[in-house]
Structure 1
Amino acid sequence: MAVGSGKLSRFWNAARTYFAHDDPLVATANLVALVVLWNQPFYPLYVYWSVGPDIAPTCYTFISTPFFLAVPALARVNGRAGRALLPLAGIGNTVLSAKVFGVASGVEIFLLPCVLLGFVLFRPTERVISIVIAAAGLLAFTALHGHYGEPVHTYSVEEYAGFLKMNALSAGTLTAFIGLLVMDLIGRRVGG
């Protein structure tokens, strides 16, 4: 075994332990946080390929990285708080991205999986938390849409079309992934 492969194996084992949890809802939140974290470093490349070479504004999206990374740690202290942090971090990242890229980028579509997470990560006895998170996502759209001012960088009409297509595909994929996770949760609950 090569020296580097041992370090990589230890890293993967540590990451698996960090994101694991006995509560299936917390484990689901942790997995979604991991997927978001895994994709964040590639976001500038997605923008480069889909929109154009001006990727400097994508650096703002890394402000949310510590919040997504904190989801499992917070969940170990308080499962509800950890589960709530995930959609709230997503809403915050979406609002920031709408300011940075402009609403024409279509980035606000990421509020949909955030609202969905607010509903699927909580038990019926925690319904108030779900409603508050969903209200925060809907309020972010209704109150802020069109009120962000000038974006940090303005893109061309063609670039915004690429942005919209990229964000719709990404948000749709994330929503579908959440749906698959919910199917697994339901399957465990009803034994099917």
Structure 2
Amino acid sequence: RVKHFKWLDQTIQNTTIPQIRDYLQIACALVNAYRASAISSFSNYDQIATKLLAHLHEPNLLRTRLNNEVLRWSNDDASNLVGFPILTIDQIRLITVGIFQLKQARAYSEEHCSATDLNNQADFPLQICNTDGQLIRIRFQSRHSNAKLYYTYIQFSTEEILNSCCDYPIGDRQVGVCSHRAAAIWFLAY
């Protein structure tokens, strides 16, 4: 936005370096006064901030459970999944902590389903835990390496997503989710 000012959109001479700070402050003040906000807030930003602070240093208990227990899995499809919660887009945004991964979710879901028509009949392969019917895992192919697979795990109740984690390097964080987790939650819950 600042580069819309003609003087700031060009190479600046060295002789004006002492005044750049003043010029930049004036340009930013004009942008703030007469232009729309660069970041638009949405309805539940305070809930997201509270969640960020509450879960910032918590370990992922689902990952701990997966590391400590030997679980068996059965192949199934999303159409046979019983009791998975239906969420609003705001509830999903609260889980993903923002919109970046949510924007990636459709593309990841299409790749996983091998279809661009993501209707109720789309084949979304997943696995259900044999000992806990409310724990599922979904295998995602890496976008960066054909040899790499990531498993996304989701623990749920009929009301909400209780916990989730992923084998992706940043997939165990408690604040926000990786794109694999976002894709699975978006496809199954929305």
TM-score, normalization by structure 2: 0.21
The structure that is helix-richer by fraction is 1
Q: TM-score normalized by structure 1?
A: 0.20
Greater share of strand residues, 1 or 2? 2
- Structure whose alpha-carbon radius of gyration is higher: 2
